[in-house]
């Protein structure tokens, strides 16, 4: 269901309200992304044996053996892709936090609808962050997948099909599908706002 809009009376009446799924996904995903970002940018201290590893990042001991891009192999090889991805995670997270601050600080009680120019800035910020997440997530799958294919599956080829699906494909898939969903609903909201303003101007 698209985000709520009111555009029939022009900019003064237009508003953006996040969908329940958007807020639920951000509430779940942002702590996980922050956790992942600090791990990536904090390496090697957050890795096994580092002073920051316990108690927050022991699961990465396993994940680093599943996907060597996150493990010692890539770090020792000075592979910059992981840290570059972590930096973009930090940018995206900051944009989502700005989006949420606008929704909860400026939005109406109940619907969290943000009106007028503030609503427009809010939805553009959320849309931009969602596009970044979707692009980066797809790029990760394409780059890692293509790189693995042409390098004989050097980083993930050691996994069984079951482990690969459960520990690599499934944990990453929600970021593609749900960021695509947010891109669609927020993009639809922006289009509705522009179309409503254009119709209002034409009627004047």
CB atoms within 10 A of CB 85: 20
CB atoms within 10 A of CB 103: 22
The pLDDT score that the predictor gives to residue 199 is: 53
The pLDDT score that the predictor gives to residue 167 is: 83
Per-residue CA distances from 142 to 60, 126, 129, 176 (Å): 22, 24, 20, 12
Q: What is the 3-state secondary structure (H, E, C) of 65-104?
A: HHCHHHCHHHHHCCCCHHHHHHHHHHHHHHHHHHHHHHHH
The pLDDT score that the predictor gives to residue 164 is: 77
> pTM of the prediction?
0.85
Q: What residue segments make up the domains of the chain, in order of their start?
A: 18-193
CA 13/CA 55 separation, integer angstroms? 49
Instruction: Please list, in sequence order, all residues whose beta carbon lies within 8 angstroms of the beta carbon of residue 181, skipping any fewer than 6 positions away.
Output: 21, 22, 25
The pLDDT score that the predictor gives to residue 20 is: 96
pLDDT tens track, the chain, 204 positions: 444 444 334 445 789 999 999 999 999 999 999 999 999 999 999 999 999 999 999 999 999 999 888 999 999 999 898 999 999 999 999 999 999 999 999 999 888 999 999 999 999 999 999 999 998 888 777 766 666 666 666 667 787 888 878 888 888 899 999 999 999 999 999 998 888 654 544 445
Element (H, E) at 34: helix 20-41
Instruction: Please list, in sequence order, all residues whose beta carbon lies within 8 angstroms of the beta carbon of residue 169, skipping any fewer than 6 positions away.
Output: none
């Amino acid at each position: 269901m698209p985000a709520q809009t009111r555009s029939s009376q022009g900019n003064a009446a237009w508003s953006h309200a996040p969908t329940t799924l958007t807020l639920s996904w951000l509430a779940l995903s942002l702590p996980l992304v922050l956790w992942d970002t600090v791990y990536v940018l904090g390496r090697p201290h957050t890795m096994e044996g580092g002073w920051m590893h316990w108690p927050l990042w022991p699961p990465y001991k396993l994940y680093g053996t599943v996907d060597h891009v996150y493990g010692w192999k890539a770090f020792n090889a000075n592979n910059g892709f992981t840290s570059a991805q972590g930096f973009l995670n930090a940018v995206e997270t900051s944009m989502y936090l700005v989006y949420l601050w606008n929704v909860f600080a400026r939005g109406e009680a109940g619907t969290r609808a943000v009106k007028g120019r503030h609503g427009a800035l809010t939805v553009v910020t959320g849309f931009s962050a969602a596009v970044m997440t979707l692009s980066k997530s797809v790029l990760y799958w394409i780059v890692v997948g293509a790189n693995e294919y042409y390098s004989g599956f050097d980083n993930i080829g050691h996994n069984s099909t079951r482990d690969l699906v459960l520990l690599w494909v499934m944990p990453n898939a929600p970021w593609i599908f749900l960021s695509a969903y947010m891109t669609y609903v927020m993009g639809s909201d922006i289009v509705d706002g522009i179309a409503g303003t254009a119709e209002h101007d034409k009627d004047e």
